[in-house]
Structure 1
Amino acid sequence: SHCPPQGAGSLFHIRLAGGSTPCPYLSPRDPHPLCHPAVDRALRLSGAGGPPHVKLTVEWDLSTKERLFGDIREEVVQDAESVRLQAQAHQQQSCSLEECFQLYTKEEQLAPDDAWRCPHCKVPQQGMVKLSLWTLPDILIIHLKRFRQVAARRHKLSTLVQFPLRGLDMAPHMAPWGPGSWGHQQPPPRHPPSSPHDSLYDLYAVCYHHGGMNGGHYTGEWGHRECRERGGGWY
């Protein structure tokens, strides 16, 4: 049988979510509402996935909620002009996909806190680190990082990234084939390219995100191969 919430005229009611208790509402008249057999039963049934816990749902009186908070579903907090200008200062208008790869794979020096301990001299060294690709997949998926941390806030980057429709060459970003490139370590296996075209990619599809950091939606474009070769056929 259903047990109605107790405490008529209260601003809200607290309901114990889940479980099989016949009266899931906690009494507002109880000075220690969590010291209740229903809460103990829910703790025993919480199962795996972390420490024992219970889930509580706050059910507001609708008239009280509207009077205190209004319609918060349409609430949009606008950034101050200084915050907007600061975000624009950190964002360029456009760049190429090749520039993105160059920045991603450029050589960098380790910070003092990340120093590498040399096995010969046993002294931490601020060595150089560089990211390179060892193998290439048949289908290459590129995920662009579209946010930047500015002070305590994160902003979405709307920089236009230009990329070729055909012939994206990934060979300049591959690790060298030389036997000494891995030092004394055994490199992972990989097959040498059978032709120079193995590192070339044609654009097949694009996924777009519309919106900001707090929400939005996705759309996509896909091109049929035969239609793409004729300069059209994007859907």
Structure 2
Amino acid sequence: MGAASSRLEKALGEQFPEGERYFGLENFGNTCYCNSVLQALYFCVPFREQLLEYYANNKSASDGEENMLTCLADLFSQISNQKKKTGVIAPKRFIQRLKKQNELFRSYMHQDAHEFLNFLLNELVDILEKECKANKEPSQNSSSNKTSNGPSNGQPNGSHKEPDTTWVHKCFQGILTNQTKCLRCETVTDRDETFLDLSLDIEQNSSITSCLKNFSSTETLNAEDKFFCDKCCSLQEAQKRMKIKKQPNILVIHLKRFKYIEQLGRYKKLTYRVVFPLELKLMNTVDNSDLEYSLFAVLVHVGSGPNHGHYISVVKSHNHWLFFDDETVEMTDESMVQTFFGSAQEFSGNTDNGYILFYESVAKTS
């Protein structure tokens, strides 16, 4: 990195808090999909703080089995404890564990950053839920021998019990509600489902706001798609729409830039221009709440197709934007974010397109 590194070091020293670290990640052969996601997650401050707290509380348990969570926590701890403000770290242990854990990521072929993010977050949730369950069992066994004067909170065998909410859930999880209205009796049926990210269909010359509006647009169910109404006890025409019931603290939006084209018999990348604002207000919520979000990271796919290309990330840290391209770390300007909106033309030489967006909720000041 040489002179560029020393210039960055000077700029970081002048404009950033003493404790922050900005490290590039070594590429182990088409692992840019992983590096770009890791940078976005590192600069997701609530997630990073929880992960480092987990590491501090569990690093003494050296006899525990290594997993994706311990490897990620170890990597983030390495970065945060570096003496220098900037440099390069090799996430070798994490990559080795990833390949061991999931055969999808074992080859040196181009991988999808969204698939990796999905796998990683769900894997962390599984590990934390198992640990929580294991920690509860000894206390439950010991308490079962005691006499209780109050009502029992125990669950009978076979009954439904809500899963434990982990700190990953607290960061990323929201709730969608699928509202279906029978057009005969006008009964509305709500069905909830959780999400860790929202995948949005995109159109040419659109915006995140319009994509979210389309996501929650009303769809009529008729002909062969009629809805079985429990009140009418028969198939009926109905209207349905999806709305956000609980907004996540960290909103992750995945733009569906890869579309299967039947005529071509393969997936094609959509380089459509989709504007994503620095500040976002969700309009498609059940309670019409006015929670606002601020953009802090953008994962960018560079290339013309889904099976080849490159991933980079731009992140916001302490009101400054930085550019991460594997080992390279550079300060950049807010205006750079706009260059990743996409192209207004169907065929364009600009293939650097925003692919995954990370927004954090902003506390409103009274």
After TM superposition, the score normalised by the length of structure 1 is 0.46
Rg larger for? 1
Greater helix proportion = 2
Greater strand proportion = 2
Whose RCO is larger (CA < 8 A, sep 6+)?
Answer: 2
After TM superposition, the score normalised by the length of structure 2 is 0.30
